[in-house]
């Protein structure tokens, strides 16, 4: 089992997630964009790095790989076909990865990038289900469409909506407050959004992470997971100047609006 999960802050708003093995000696990290904070964390807690999980090829997620591989020789798991230097186990949809005897399933979730994957593990009596989703899903938001289309990203996000509601969502950026401000603009009568903004602001005022989120909370407050909602369809219509034909068109309108918000 995974004993604990800790955020390692990196750059200005990244989190490198550290998954502590049950033996308190080994650790897995997710998306190490910078080696230095990982090395500091390992040395400060007398830990050995045994695995790295990679979600996609952007430098702020893989920039620390070469140094960490050279120093610790961990297993590095990442998306097949991505040509990320340092990966020594390539995975695709449905493959399984084990961290401290906790099995994770690989989900292919293109859109932000075409090689993007996520890692999901089912819950047990003592552990919540967990999702490490990189930059595909954010707290109250989603990643920009750098490589995929709106239809591709919408389909990828739909994979997450079918996960158990109590799934803990570990994304990799502290974008929550900005995302919530946009979500309120798009869905101004949503009381759950107002309450969430207040809660998350209180955390940030104390320099605490707003993550992890949960699938249940995202289904309540994330506009990009709620394109079937009448209020968001009305907001999309105002952006498009015509009635959207389907949820993908709603999603595309919201994503373009967010890009310029």
Per the annotation, the verdict on 56 as an active-site residue is: yes
Q: What is the dihedral of CA 28, 30, 35, 40, to 10 degrees?
A: -50
pTM, entire model: 0.97
Q: Which residue is catalytic, options 21, 31, 56, 154?
A: 56
- Considering 58, 115, 116, 154, which one is annotated as catalytic? 58
Q: Is 208 part of any domain?
A: yes
Residue 159: name the closest of 116, 192, 196, 220 by CA. 116
Is 257 a member of any domain? no
Which is nearest to 13 in space by CA: 193, 176, 142, 179?
Answer: 176
Residue 196 is assigned to a structural domain of this protein: no
Q: What percent of the chain has pLDDT over 90?
A: 97
From the list 34, 115, 135, 187, the catalytic residue is: 135
Domain for residue 236, yes or no?
A: no
Q: Which of 104, 77, 111 is nearest to 91 (CA)?
A: 77
What is the rounded average pLDDT for all residues in the chain?
97
Selected catalytic residue, list 21, 61, 116, 154: 61
Helix (H) or strand (E) holding 168: strand 168-171
Task: Using the predicted structure, report yes or no on whether residue 83 has a pLDDT greater than 90.
Answer: no
The yes-or-no answer on residue 13 being catalytic is no
Residue 162's alpha-carbon distances to 156, 206, 218, 228, in angstroms, are 11, 33, 12, 15
The CATH number of whichever domain residue 211 belongs to comes to: 3.60.15.10
Mean pLDDT across 130-140: 98
What's the domain range around 68? Answer: 2-175+204-222
Task: Confirm whether 83 is a catalytic residue.
Answer: no
How far apart, in whole angstroms, are the C-alpha atoms of residue 219 and residue 226? 7
Q: Three-state SS for 258?
A: helix
Residue 163 lies in a domain: yes
127 pLDDT higher than 90: no
Element (H, E) at 202: helix 191-205
Active-site entry in 112, 115, 116, 154:
112
Any domain includes 185: no
Residue 81: per-residue pLDDT: 83
pLDDT tier at 207 (50, 70, 90 boundaries)? very high
In a domain, 229, yes or no: no
**CB–CB of 198/33 below 8 Å?**
no
Residue 88 lies in a domain: yes
Instruction: Specify the number of domains making up the chain.
Output: 1
Residue 154 annotated among the catalytic residues of the structure: no
Single out the catalytic residue among 21, 34, 57, 60: 60
Residue-wise pLDDT for 170-180, tens only, equals 999 999 999 99
């Amino acid at each position: 089992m995974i004993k604990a999960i800790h955020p390692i802050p990196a750059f200005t708003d990244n989190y490198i997630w550290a998954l502590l093995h049950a033996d308190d000696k080994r650790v897995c990290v997710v998306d190490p964009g910078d080696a230095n904070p990982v090395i500091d964390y390992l040395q400060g807690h007398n830990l050995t790095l045994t695995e790295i999980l990679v979600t996609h090829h952007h430098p702020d997620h893989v920039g620390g790989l070469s140094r960490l591989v050279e120093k610790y020789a961990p297993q590095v798991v990442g998306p097949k076909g991505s040509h990320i230097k340092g990966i020594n186990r390539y995975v695709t949809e449905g493959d399984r990865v084990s961290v401290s005897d906790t099995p994770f399933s690989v989900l292919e979730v293109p859109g932000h990038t075409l090689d993007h994957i996520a890692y999901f593990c089912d819950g047990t009596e003592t552990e919540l289900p967990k999702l490490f989703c990189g930059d595909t899903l954010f707290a109250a938001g989603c990643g920009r469409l750098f490589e995929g289309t709106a239809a591709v990203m919408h389909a990828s996000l739909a994979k997450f909506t079918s996960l158990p509601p109590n799934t803990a969502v570990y994304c990799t950026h502290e974008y929550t407050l900005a995302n919530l401000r946009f979500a309120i603009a798009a869905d101004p009568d949503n009381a759950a959004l107002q309450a969430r903004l207040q809660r998350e602001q209180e955390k940030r005022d104390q320099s605490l992470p707003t993550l992890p989120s949960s699938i249940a909370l995202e289904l309540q407050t994330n506009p990009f997971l709620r394109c079937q909602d009448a209020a968001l369809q009305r907001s999309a219509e105002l952006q498009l100047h015509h009635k959207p034909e389907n949820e993908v068109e709603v999603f595309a309108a919201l994503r373009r609006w967010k890009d310029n918000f």
